[in-house]
Structure 1
Amino acid sequence: MTGTPGALRTATADLNGIARGKRLPGRMADKLMAEGLRLPLSALNLDVWGEDIAGSPLVFAGGDPDGVARPTGRGPLPVPWLAGSGTLVPMWMFHEDGRAFEGDARQALSRLLDRFSKRGLVPLVGSELEFHLLDDSRAMPRPAASPRSGHRRPGGDILSLRQLDDFEVFFADLYEGAEAMGLRAGAAISEGSPGQFEVTLDHREAMRAADDAWLFKMLVHGMARKHGMAASFMAKPLPDHPGNGLHVHVSVMDGTGANVFDDGTERGSQTLRQAIGGCLALMAEATLVFAPHGPSYDRFVPGAHAPTGISWGYENRTVALRVPGGAPAARRLEHRLAGGDANPYLMFGAVLGGVLEGIAAPTEPPAPLTGNAYEKDLDQVPGDWITAIDGFAASHGIARIFAPQLIANFVATKRQEARKLADLDAASRRALYLDIV
């Protein structure tokens, strides 16, 4: 990297998935790659405002010690949304003695993937990210005007090519940027809310896929601003329209490269059903990961394309866990609960943790659901933030998946945010989360 032009931007994901780091001159590139970067451990445990967590042992009680942020090996990457020739270096956090920092969301996913590896298994994950393109120049955000016509859509227009054509300049830049960053962006579609779109990211090994999702959200935010708009992954940025989801598709390979969810039939293997059983058993307790913010719960409206009941089924988009059709070799499960505001590292960890729990302690799910899940008498995920926080904090299943320090830090973060958010009206809450998550 000697002689790297422009500024370096180091980026580490905090527990909310917000990038924290430093801007460095290009001449420091070799030193950064060799030695890493000293950064307070507490930087990964900030609330959504970017403020310290009151009473955190990482701050005053412990003297606010530094850790060492080290390059993940993914980068340096271009920064397509900014002028100039700067680069982005994704990082993750370690203690000075080389131990992984257990309060780091990326380290949490790595720890879980080590458990898969010990079983000779490799999970593959693909994601579908929904977002809105908005005009946030007023107190109440509204759909962004088409750069082509200057018009705003009054409603959703599902799978409309005209909608995509109206924003072609943005999407052309977005896909070019994704290619430059090594992100395998697939199909783009218009969705059911005005100004709402979905982009798929290809199946890859789970850590690479989580990196892709986190970096892609950063890219979408940046490109939207470059084009005079705001991008929002907020779970429900427009109160009267459908919200944003983050759906993930999971399959698991064995040492020969065979899909352990495939038994040659449409039904899928017993291992697939065990994985589904594990995900269902963990779903309520892990809801805080899938819906991490107060406004996240506005998305859980029956009949609004966001699952509320703990259920599964084949080719059924009203359930929380869907088994898509297609060739048996591609048999997989689709986890549909999370909002677009979820931290991809924690979200992938919670989903894969459920998969591993179901495989390790074979867990048989109930019968697959047919018909409209919203009309069935089902156990429900928590419908409010405080219940979800309490359930996550007390969960024995979560304690088997995430390290105690991460659980304690995440719970403390969410409790602090809940106290502060209680003083804000709906408009202020929307303005806070609109383009930050």
Structure 2
Amino acid sequence: MKDWLRKHPEVRTIRVAAADINGQARGKRIPARFAEKVLKDGIRFPYSVLNLDIWGEDIDDSPLVFEEGDQDGTLRPTERGFMPMPWLEAPTALLPIWMYRENGQPYEGDPRHALNAVVQRFKAQGLTPVVAMELEFFLIDDSGKKLQVPLSPRSGKRRKAAETLSIRALDAFDTFFTDLYDACEAMDIPADTTTSETGLGQFEVNLMHCDDALRAADDAWLFKMLVKGLARRHGFAASFMAKPYPEYSGSGLHTHFSVIDRNGDNVFDSGGPKGTAMLRNAVAGCLDAMADSTLLFAPHANSYERLVPEAHAPVNICWGYENRTAAIRIPAGSPSARRIEHRVAGGDVNPYLMLAVILGAAMNGIEDGMDPPPPVTGNAYAIDGLSTIPTTWAAAVDAFESSTTMPRIFGPEMIRNMVLTKRQEIHYLAELTAEEQVELYLDTV
């Protein structure tokens, strides 16, 4: 890590940052000449900082604040090391960190540690998840009272229509996407294909599959930070909020995963299109946990605007082969690449918690030998009798809190912190108008 700074003498300041419970970057700005001290000793800030609400406020009834004296944790660099922050004008480096207790144990209220605990469950069985994510987002002109697609830097025109898989829509923002790919290269984020999507000014970027789930979540977290920051340099906003436009489909964060064994073989590969018994076990685990874990796939008030029938987002708890109307899809293709696509999460999630609950639920299914119901065919929205995910934010909080499945995936402190945070947000969001809610979520999530 020291070598990176030596090779980049132009960097005068660094940011040290961890992801809080909402996926917001929390940390400090430090002169680069003091970076060695951070690498050696870490830095300190209160445990409560990783449990702030969406405004960045303390949780009123959290024991972390007054009851426990607002104690400090120690934050140390992750394996990622330094990287540039191409959305800033001055040369600056970002150092991702995560939180530990005084005794050196991981702080279980840290979302990255929550994911690592799940990864260790796989490791204990000689298994490794291989993960890829597809992130959808909107480019938005938010300079006026009404949100709209930005003017094209090429034509100076504003295209007020969805343009699914349109090359013209991509070309209209070519300078932005060229800078984005250059920045991803500099930050070592494996950005692959970009497409224009069904929403107004909506795009999707796929991140390549990775056999390190922590790194995959890092990539998604860093990518969201990069896209939002870089868009502002180009004179408009980028937002991962679930549904900024009521009349258009919202943004999802679809997660693809397979599992390899000690020999590097895909344990979901049966040599044919249906996959193995272990694939079906994993599907069953994901379905079993889906209602209770909806809060992590839809963590904000606006999230539930996206989860409506026939809006390219799942509402029924079901699975199917090559079926995008189902919550879980098994894509077609080469048997060696057999995998699960989990389609529930919105773009507004914390990637660490989202991936932790997906992989943790899959491992529950594998450990318990669960069997899923039959796969659905046709339009899953039109099938009667299927269980549904919670339709309101409050119901999702209740389901998460009372779940007997979530304690198999998360420690009690993470569950408590999430419930207290979301109940506080529900209370204060009720005081905001719809326009104020959009303004809140546009840049934060």
Correspondence for 1:424: 432
- 2:336 is paired with a residue of what secondary structure? helix
More off after superposition, 121-130 vs 4-13:
4-13
Q: CA deviation at 1:139?
A: 2.5
- Conserved 8 A contact 1:292-1:341: yes
Partner AA of 1:370 in structure 2? T
Q: CA deviation at 1:64?
A: 0.6
296, 299, 309: which one aligns with 1:289? 296
Long gaps (5+) in structure 2 = none
- Conserved 8 A contact 1:279-1:351: yes
41, 64, 72: which one aligns with 1:66? 72
- Conserved 8 A contact 1:140-1:427: no
- Conserved 8 A contact 1:309-1:380: yes
Correspondence for 1:48: 54
Partner AA of 2:430 in structure 1? A
Correspondence for 1:233: 240
- 2:75 is paired with a residue of what secondary structure? strand
Correspondence for 2:423: 415
CA distance in 2, matches of 1:308, 1:144: 31
Correspondence for 1:97: 103
Q: CA deviation at 1:157?
A: 0.6
CA distance in 1, matches of 2:405, 2:87: 40
Partner AA of 1:93 in structure 2? M
How many equivalent pairs are there?
A: 437
- Structure-to-structure mapping, 1:84-163, within 5 angstroms: 84-163=90-169
TM-score by length of 1: 0.99
CA distance in 1, matches of 2:251, 2:235: 21
Q: CA deviation at 1:222?
A: 0.8
- 1:435 is paired with a residue of what secondary structure? helix
Q: CA deviation at 1:194?
A: 1.3
Quick check: 1:361 aligned with 2:368? yes
Quick check: 1:300 aligned with 2:303? no
CA distance in 2, matches of 1:7, 1:321: 44
- Structure-to-structure mapping, 1:33-44, within 5 angstroms: 33-44=39-50
Long gaps (5+) in structure 1 = none
CA distance in 2, matches of 1:83, 1:14: 25
- Structure-to-structure mapping, 1:262-273, within 5 angstroms: 262-273=269-280
- Conserved 8 A contact 1:313-1:370: yes
178, 191, 200: which one aligns with 1:194? 200
CA distance in 1, matches of 2:39, 2:387: 49
- Conserved 8 A contact 1:393-1:411: yes
CA distance in 1, matches of 2:18, 2:156: 37
Quick check: 1:322 aligned with 2:313? no
CA distance in 2, matches of 1:428, 1:80: 30
Quick check: 1:21 aligned with 2:22? no
Correspondence for 1:344: 351
More off after superposition, 260-269 vs 54-63:
54-63
CA distance in 2, matches of 1:290, 1:23: 31
CA distance in 2, matches of 1:413, 1:234: 18
Deviation string 1:17-67 (CA, Å, 9 cap, x unpaired) is: 000000000111111111111111110000000000002111111111110
Q: Deviation above 4 Å: which 4+ runs of structure 1?
A: none
Quick check: 1:405 aligned with 2:396? no
CA distance in 1, matches of 2:442, 2:300: 12
Correspondence for 2:401: 393
Deviation string 1:245-290 (CA, Å, 9 cap, x unpaired) is: 0000010000000000001001110100110000000000000000
CA distance in 1, matches of 2:145, 2:411: 40
CA distance in 2, matches of 1:201, 1:64: 38
Q: CA deviation at 1:140?
A: 2.2
Partner AA of 2:96 in structure 1? P
Partner AA of 1:35 in structure 2? D
Deviation string 1:130-176 (CA, Å, 9 cap, x unpaired) is: 00000111222111111111222212111000000000000000000
Deviation string 1:92-119 (CA, Å, 9 cap, x unpaired) is: 0001221100100000000111111000
Deviation string 1:198-246 (CA, Å, 9 cap, x unpaired) is: 0000110211100000000001011101101111100001111110000
